[in-house]
Amino acid sequence: MDYREIFVSNLPELVLASQSPARRSLLESLGCIVHVKPTYSDEFHTGSSPLLVVQELAERKMSAYLTMHPHPELPVLTADTIVSCEGKLLGKPTTERDAEMQIQLLNGRTHSVLSGFALYRPGDHHGPPAMISGADETFITFHRIDESDIASYLAGGDWVGAAGSYRIQGDAKVFIKNISGDYSTVVGLPIQAISAILSSPVSL
């Protein structure tokens, strides 16, 4: 499947309602013109199903964006990412100690990274406005990391603002032993899942 062709054909220009540089870079690498307008929506949740949680949070961000911009002229994309390990859902750490605890939990274990999305497309001569949403899961296994490497990683600060305290494309990439699933889901935007919907005969 040619993801670049799918995105350029269906979403040549869009609003990314997220402050994530990685998501923007991913979309631009697919040939999209991206306008960044974050919603700063809260990420509180009470759910226990990781896939439903990330989808709900992405939909909440979309609702917040549409409240602020009721009639967007361009398609709008929102997303959210969490990490699940040993029954615990890990969001963004608030302190270095939080980050240390998250990395220690992932240390030597297999965990999942889940990214949800919501995509709004304005109405046109083909039909009224419509929104789709979904989520995807990728499994990551970390090597066994020694304490000195963890301390060095934390000191570098790459954990700040990252779900599960790491970015797959950042300093923590050396921790990764195996990836099973869509790499882009771990970056923060499930490109394969979105492409499958966009290329479907019943796509919005």
Active site residues: 80
User: How far is 129 from 180, CA to CA, in rounded Å?
Assistant: 35
User: How far is 48 from 67, CA to CA, in rounded Å?
Assistant: 27
* CA of residue 151 relative to chain centroid, distance: 26
- Return the biggest CA–CA distance within the chain: 60
Please name the amino acid found at residue 187. V
Are 140 and 179 contacting, i.e. CB atoms less than 8 angstroms apart? yes
Q: Which two tokens stand for residue 85?
A: 């390990």
Buried b (16+ CB within 10 A) or exposed e, 177-188: eeeebbebbbbb
Are 135 and 115 contacting, i.e. CB atoms less than 8 angstroms apart? yes
